[in-house]
Structure 1
Amino acid sequence: MDQSNGVKKLSTSELSIFCYQFSVVLKAGLPYIEALHLLSGDVFEGRMKHLAHQIYLDAEQGMPLSEAIAVRGIFPEYMVAMLRIAENTGRLPEVFEQLSKHYEQNEIVKQKVKNALVYPVVLIALMAAVILLLVLKVLPIFHEILLSVGGEIPTATQFVLDFSEGLQNGLIIIIGLVALVAIYLVLLFKTRLLLAQRDRLLIKAPIASKLYKQAIVVKFSSALSILTKSGMPIQSSLDMILPLMENAYVEEKLKMAISAIEAGKPLATALEETELFPKLFIRMITLGDKTGELDQMLDKISSIYDAELSRGLHRMTVSIEPTLVIILSLVVGAILLLVMLPLINIMSSIG
């Protein structure tokens, strides 16, 4: 029975710490019930301490560890399934260590993506604020000055001034449109109402899709490596990986791959047909499958694409900053020149 009762689920960093501490005490040779008692008494603090104590009480009454963890309702299904496999194969310490690395890697990928997106968004917002300040506050002042001194206003300058006046008159409409866009983005990325649209957008978006697909490769290969090391069949492993992808479009593609494998196609061919994975990934999977070292090859793939993802995110952030600064400088410079030059000409003619 799920005992979550609306309790917030554990973050990937908390999951990594939980699994790591478990792996340490289990590798020391302690039975898992004694390990839980130790963790709940001296190692964990706060929420994690209470959680470990509740799991300990259930395990002490004879409940399997995976079940005691599952009934909390705040652990991922993937982790629970992996622990069930570990209990059946007697590999709890190794699987806890693998899960710790897996969630640590997931947290790193999430932070990399988040950090790569925050700075450009802030810079774009500042750029928009500067341009709006010029158009709505500064340009009207120059317009009044030009009208007071007289003289002919060039067409380009008149267009900018008319645009400024139009923005002022339609400010409420513009604010409404911005609010609608903001609501749409919140619905798109923070709720499940537009889930299918969001998931397809992340895969198809011109700039973000390459990095997003690399993140998928990292998650997919690291998860499949853990499962293959645990002796899981490929079809069952792929079934368990589906929720980990956190993308309905990717899940549908992987379900097609599972059907293809069940129909007799090799793993590499089935994954290639999804069009989600790069050619290098497919070649390495083919080689690992043929040599019987698929789990080691998956670890290598995860390392390669994790490094590539880091480089890609770094290149994107490094290139976005000067690009946005140049755009801002050109826009502000153009606006000021279009207004200042006629004013200078008028003043020169008066002089």
Structure 2
Amino acid sequence: MPQFQYVVRMKTGKKQTGKITAISQREAYEKLREREMRVLEVKEMPETLLNKEITFINPLKLKDFVVYLRQFATLLQAGVTVVDATRILANQTESKVLRCALESIEDELKAGRALSEAYSIHKRLFSRMFISMVRAGETTGQLDEALESMANYYEKQLRTRQKIQSAMAYPITVGIIAIAVVIFLLVQVVPTFVEMFKENNIELPWLTKMVISASGWMQKEWWIFFLIDVFVYLNFLLIIRKKGSKYYWDYAILRMPLIGKLLQKSVIARMARTLSSLVSSAVPILQALTIVEDVVDNEVVAREIRKSRTALQNGNPLSDPLKKHWVFPPLVSSMIAIGEQTGSLDQMLAKVADFYEAEVEIAADRFKSLIEPVMVVFLSAAIGTIVLAIMIPLFKLYNTIQ
């Protein structure tokens, strides 16, 4: 949530400055008024490392947003005014974040602002693409159709995202379980055998010595393990927030076996679906390409889209730069080229999106079927190594007793 810097005059007549968190400038103003302060100035603070809100996902759930768009379009088609529809949906939505935003939007609409302008106040909730589509719908007088189109778009995005999340859930879950079990064995189980080995003066093999050393380190220096995790996490945040380093991160991910192909198809599907929706809604092509750069959330693809926009500005076909890069299969550049030549770019892009959304589903199922045995082997190897390290000296001890 954004922060605002304010200047107020207290009841004593003294000026006071400070910071306040609110969804919009209007809400920040109202909060200060409720404290019985005379507001002199309220302005949004620029984002810095100190006040920047670190989030990977939009606080508004995509599922709630799709439901809202469907209901909003239905109300408008039934003849309900934009203001009344916004009030009705604000009262009935289950999302607290969306409710607060809609209440603020209702106030903006009553003050005479256009719906797209009211949405633009809440840029952390409503994407640049969505605002542009709403503005185009207002201009053409087809706002209900624009909202319906957006509902279809986000619904497909949600289905694709759920497929990828489902594919990734298994390896992540097994990985967490494996780490938890290994830590438990090293901290709780291995130490109980160490004293036994010392008392019986058993010569330990290298594998057992290594596991015992790891156990001792885990018990005494566990905080280093925690610091390493924090260090890796913070560096990851820095990498993905800088375009230069994010490019190499995205490049490496796309080149990874199995998961790389899945994510590549997902990004292409998102790019094609977004550009198709924008072009079909009469958003200017150069503006649409600028929006798509942000939406794809992949710097490798974003750079090529940037090159395509430059090529278009210079009078060259949009598809030319895409043909030269490995991230775009020939099908994509060929379909875009046909769309440019026939004047049906939005339709061609929609077909590309349909194809790759179907490919994502197939690739996700294939990924799950391939990764399951790999993760089982990984889990078995991790736990089996520790068990074997303990069992070898126990067998020696048993043979000595016999």
TM bucket, shorter chain? 0.7 to 0.9
1:40 Cα deviation after fit? 4.7
1:70 to 88, 96, 120: 120
In structure 1, what is the equivalent of residue 108 of structure 2? 58
Alignment correspondent of 1:17: 67
- Cα deviations by residue, 1:316-339 (Å, 9 ceiling, x for unpaired): 233323222223324444544455
Contact 1:203 1:212 in 2 (8 A): no
1:176 and 2:227 are equivalent in the alignment: no
Q: 1:307 to 1:175 in 2, by over 3 A?
A: farther
Q: 5+ unaligned residues in a row in structure 1: which ranges?
A: none
Q: Does 1:126 align with 2:173?
A: no
Distance 2:246 2:231 in 1: 14
Question: How far apart, CA to CA, are the structure 1 residues paired with 2:158 and 2:94?
Answer: 21
TM-score (norm 1): 0.82
Q: Distance in 1 between matches of 2:364 and 2:84?
A: 44
Q: Please name the residue that 1:267 is paired with.
A: 318
* Alpha-carbon distance in structure 2 between the residues aligned to 1:342 and 1:145: 10
Normalising by structure 2, what TM-score?
Answer: 0.73
In terms of fraction of residues, the more strand-rich structure is 2
Task: Give the SS at the match of 1:231.
Answer: coil
Q: For 1:132-147, what aligned pairs fall within 5 Å after superposition? A: 132-142=183-193, 144-145=195-196
Shift of 1:267: 1.8
Amino acid at match of 2:372: E
Which of 96, 112, 115 is residue 147 of structure 2 equivalent to?
96
| 1:135, distance to aligned residue in structure 2 (A) | 4.5
Question: Displacement of 1:229 after TM fit?
Answer: 0.8
Distance between the aligned counterparts of 2:279 and 2:379, measured in 1?
51
Across the aligned residues of Structure 1 and Structure 2, the Cα RMSD in angstroms comes to 3.3
Percent of pairs with identical residues: 25
For 2:373, the equivalent position in structure 1 comes to 322
- Could you say which residue in structure 1 is the equivalent of 2:391? 340
Question: Which digits, 9 at most, give the CA deviation of each residue in 1:233-267, with x for residues without a partner?
Answer: 42221012222123445433321221122223222
Q: Relative to structure 1, is the Cα distance of residues 162 and 195 closer, same or farther in structure 2, using a 3 angstrom cutoff? A: farther
Q: Classify 1:281/1:139 alpha carbon distance in 2 versus 1 (closer, same or farther; 3 Å).
A: same
Deviation at 1:197, TM superposition (A): 3.0
SS in 2 for 1:267: coil
Residue 28 (1) aligns with residue 28 (2): no
- State the one-letter code of the partner of 2:321: A
SS at match of 2:126: coil
CA 1:159 to 1:230, structure 2 compared with 1: closer, same or farther past 3 Å? same
- Which of the residues 222, 229, 246 maps onto 2:280? 229
What are structure 2's unaligned runs of at least 5 residues?
1-23, 29-43, 45-52
CA distance in 2, matches of 1:309, 1:349: 59
More helix by percentage? 1
Q: Which residue of 1 aligns with 2:209?
A: 162
The answer (yes or no) to whether the contact 1:188–1:198 under 8 Å persists in 2 is: no
Task: Specify the alignment match of 1:197 in structure 2.
Answer: 245
